[in-house]
C-alpha cells in the first residue's frame, strides 16, 4: 500500500471542509464552521486494484504566502484546489494560485475542483468554463456527494502515475 499526503486548499467558504466530510464520512452539514489551523484524517481508497492511503489535510482559508505555514505543504504528493462555482472571487486568482502551489511543492499533482455544482444550471456551468483562466478537472457537490469520490480517484490515479 502506498501512503500519500493530500492538501485541500482554496478560498474561505468554498466547501473544503464539506468535501473533506463528504469524502471521509459521507456527511454534509448546512452549518458553516471556519476551519482553524488544519484538520487531518486518513482514508484508504482503491485505484485500479492498488490501495492508496490518503492522509487528507483540510487547511484553513487562503493559500496566500503569509497565511498558510510552509510546514503544511511539506511532503504533499497531491493538492486539491477548491473554488466555489457561484463566487467569481474564489477563482479569480486560479492560475497564479496553482503556479504558487507548484513552486512550493515541485512535482506535486494538482486537481482543480469547482464545488457547489448543485447551485448552478448546466448553462451557467458552460458559461463558467468559458470564464475560467484554466479548466477545472472536475465539478462536484459536497452537499449531494456528486463527483466527490471521482475527484479523489482522479487525484489518486495522478499520484500513482496512472493518468490516461
pLDDT of residue 36: 61
Q: What is the DSSP string of 132-161?
A: -SS--SEE--TTT-TTHHHHHHHHHHHHTT
* Contact present, 122 and 85 (Cβ < 8 Å): no
Helix 16-25 with 148-159: angle, nearest 10 deg? 90
Q: What is the CATH number of domain 2-159?
A: 3.40.50.300
pLDDT of residue 156: 96
Domain boundaries, the chain: 2-159
Sequence-distant (6+) residues with CB within 8 A of 68 are 9, 59, 60, 61, 62
Question: Please, what is the end-to-end C-alpha distance for the chain in angstroms?
Answer: 21
pLDDT of residue 164: 59
pLDDT tens for the 164 residues of the chain, in order: 899 999 999 998 999 999 999 999 988 767 766 666 678 999 999 998 899 999 999 987 666 555 667 778 889 999 999 999 999 999 999 999 999 999 989 999 999 999 999 999 999 999 999 999 889 999 999 999 999 999 999 999 999 998 75
CA distance 80 to 7: 6
Q: What is the pTM of this model?
A: 0.91
pLDDT of residue 137: 97
C-alpha cell at 72: 503544511
pLDDT of residue 28: 77
* Contact present, 138 and 115 (Cβ < 8 Å): no
Amino acid at each position: 500500500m502506498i501512503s500519500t499526503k493530500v492538501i485541500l486548499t482554496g478560498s474561505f467558504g468554498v466547501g473544503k471542509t464539506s468535501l473533506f466530510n463528504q469524502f471521509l464520512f459521507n456527511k454534509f452539514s448546512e452549518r458553516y464552521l471556519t476551519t482553524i489551523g488544519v484538520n487531518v484524517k486518513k482514508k484508504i481508497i482503491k485505484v485500479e486494484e492498488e490501495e492508496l492511503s490518503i492522509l487528507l489535510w483540510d487547511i484553513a482559508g487562503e493559500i496566500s504566502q503569509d497565511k498558510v505555514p510552509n510546514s503544511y505543504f511539506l511532503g504533499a504528493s497531491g493538492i486539491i484546489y477548491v473554488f466555489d462555482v457561484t463566487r467569481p472571487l474564489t477563482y479569480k486568482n486560479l492560475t497564479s494560485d496553482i503556479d504558487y502551489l507548484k513552486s512550493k511543492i515541485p512535482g506535486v499533482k494538482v486537481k482543480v475542483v469547482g464545488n457547489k455544482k448543485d447551485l448552478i444550471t448546466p448553462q451557467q456551468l458552460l458559461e463558467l468554463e468559458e470564464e475560467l483562466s484554466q479548466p477545472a478537472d472536475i465539478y462536484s457537490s459536497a452537499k449531494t456527494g456528486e463527483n466527490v469520490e471521482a475527484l479523489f480517484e482522479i487525484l489518486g490515479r495522478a499520484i500513482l502515475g496512472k493518468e490516461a
